[in-house]
Amino acid sequence: MGGCGRKMGRRRQECCSRLGRNGGGGYFTNDDVIKQTHHAMDILSRNYPDEMHVFIFDNATTHTKRAGDALSARKMPKLIPKDGNFLVPANKVDADGKPVYDAQGDIVKINVCMRDGTLPDGTSQPLYFPAGHEHAGKFKGMAVILKERGLVRKAKLNAQCKGFKCAPGATDCYCQQVLYNQPDFATERS
């Protein structure tokens, strides 16, 4: 951004990133990029309200990164897991929201529950059974999730097409695809 590092109005917009995994502050996380972009947009809107502003990012991981607990039908089991539970890997972060690294310099991963979905009527849809249920804390599985959304016939589909060979243009031939196309899954923020 042309204005970085110089005075913009009464405030100074500057952000310094010290590269390296474990020393000097680490890399910018996706949350850091979003926070800095919002900050820059606020300054530009305040000081240059009549100008059009364009931000260009060249960072493939920033484009595709989702929150660790984001809704994703990818790898979801169709049924309630018999052994263990369906959890999703997320980066472990410290109190400041920065990734935690192990002795080899790799980001430490933890397993977390996927966040709740949203039913067609706008109410929250927990993807894990509630306390007091015989499967308390377990992932419901795609079949139960689809039934709760009123998609009883779609819940009977296979988890995925055999060999991932769907008919051209098909959007609802297997459970993962049906969920992927549900509004809350389809609009999950990257």
Picking from 156, 143, 154, 158, the residue whose alpha carbon sits closest to that of residue 80 is: 143
Picking from 188, 2, 21, 42, the residue whose alpha carbon sits closest to that of residue 29 is: 21
pLDDT for 11 equals: 53
Cβ-count burial of 188 within 10 angstroms (0-12 exposed, 13-18 middle, 19+ buried)? Answer: middle
pTM score, whole prediction: 0.65
Query: Is the separation of the CB atoms in 171 and 177 below 8 Å?
Result: yes
Measured CA to CA, the distance from residue 45 to residue 157 in angstroms comes to 49
pLDDT for 166 equals: 78
pLDDT for 3 equals: 44
Query: For each of the chain's 190 residues, which pLDDT tens digit applies?
Result: 344 444 455 555 555 555 555 444 555 666 677 778 888 888 888 888 998 888 877 665 544 567 778 888 888 999 999 988 999 888 898 898 888 888 888 889 999 999 999 999 999 999 999 999 999 999 999 999 999 999 999 999 988 877 767 778 887 889 998 998 899 998 887 6
Q: Is 69 helix (H, G, I), strand (E, B) or coil?
A: coil
pLDDT for 184 equals: 93
pLDDT for 15 equals: 56
Domain ranges of the chain: 6-63, 67-190
pLDDT for 21 equals: 52
Question: Tens of pLDDT along 118-130?
Answer: 999 999 999 999 9
